[in-house]
Chains A and B, each alone.
Chain A
Amino acid sequence: DIQMTQSPSSVSASVGDRVTITCRASQRINKYVAWYQQRPGRAPKPLIYATSSLQSGVPSRFSGSGSGTDFTLTISSLHPEDFATYFCLQADSFPLTFGGGTKVEIK
């Protein structure tokens, strides 16, 4: 199985801050990495797919990048509604696996 190690596990930030979240794969993978936002009690919401493609309706302050084993989600300027937990997903090979999650909290 491909393990996705996500860091940090939590981050405290303020409105307007730039936040970067990283997922490191246990082996080189293709660009089939997606990112999800999850608010408490809600289903995950897709933000990014294929490493850097923005899901329809998602604000442009969210962006994704990466290759090989290292993949990144960046929020360029935090809005109040962005305080949530974020997960990465690798869809390069089965079984599909998720990162451990990053909780973005208000400083």
Chain B
Amino acid sequence: QVQLQESGPGLVKPSETLSLSCTVSGGSISDSYWCWIRQPPGKSLEWIGYIFSSGSTNYNPSLESRVTMSVDTSKNQFSLNLNSLTAADTAVYYCARYFRRSPFYYFDFWGHGVLVTVSS
């Protein structure tokens, strides 16, 4: 059973950069797509982007100018950097596996989530 665990700061200042990591256990990070998804308090979910284990990425255009994702296969980890933070970036951030084998496309395994608050 694949398990994911997010790690990173719970409080970040406006204009700074958020850095989160997701550690995958119970399976290899190779040959899979890995995503970041966020959920502002009381609101719905927003897909931030994915990174394939080879390093190729696809970002949501709404965040693309501020997002960078990376992967470290030796550590079974992938990461998210989101810069120029504002209060609107306050949310629970989830990492998830994007199962992508036709005709099945969906997020099948999720981390528990980490609440990130942007405040001075």
Please state if A87 and B44 are interface contacts (CB–CB under 8 Å). yes
List A contacts of B94 (CB < 8 A): 43-44
A66 interface residue (CB < 8 Å to B) = no
Please state if A96 and B112 are interface contacts (CB–CB under 8 Å). no
Known: A43-B94, A95-B62. A50 touches B104 (CB 8 A): yes
Question: Which interface class (under 10, 10 to 19, 20 to 34, 35 or more) fits A?
Answer: 20 to 34
Nearest CB of chain B from residue A23's CB, rounded to whole Å: 12
B16 interface residue (CB < 8 Å to A) = no
List A residues 26-73 near B (Cβ within 8 Å).
30-32, 34, 36, 42-46, 49-50, 53, 55
| A50 to B105 Cα, complex, angstroms | 7
Please state if A89 and B107 are interface contacts (CB–CB under 8 Å). yes
Total number of residue pairs linking A and B with CB closer than 8 Å: 57
Q: B103's contact among A50, A97, A99, A100, by CB below 8 Å, is which? A: A50
Q: Chain A: interface secondary structure?
A: loop
| A34 to B96 Cα, complex, angstroms | 14
List B contacts of A42 (CB < 8 A): 112
Please state if A32 and B61 are interface contacts (CB–CB under 8 Å). no
| A98 to B39 Cα, complex, angstroms | 11
Q: Which of A30, A34, A53, A99 has the most CB of B within 10 A?
A: A34
Q: Which of B45, B61, B106, B107 has the most CB of A within 10 A?
A: B106
| A46 to B107 Cα, complex, angstroms | 7
Q: Which residues of A contact B (CB under 8 A)?
A: 1, 30-32, 34, 36, 42-46, 49-50, 53, 55, 87, 89, 91, 94-101
Q: Which residues of B contact A (CB under 8 A)?
A: 44-47, 58, 60-62, 94, 99, 103-108, 110-113
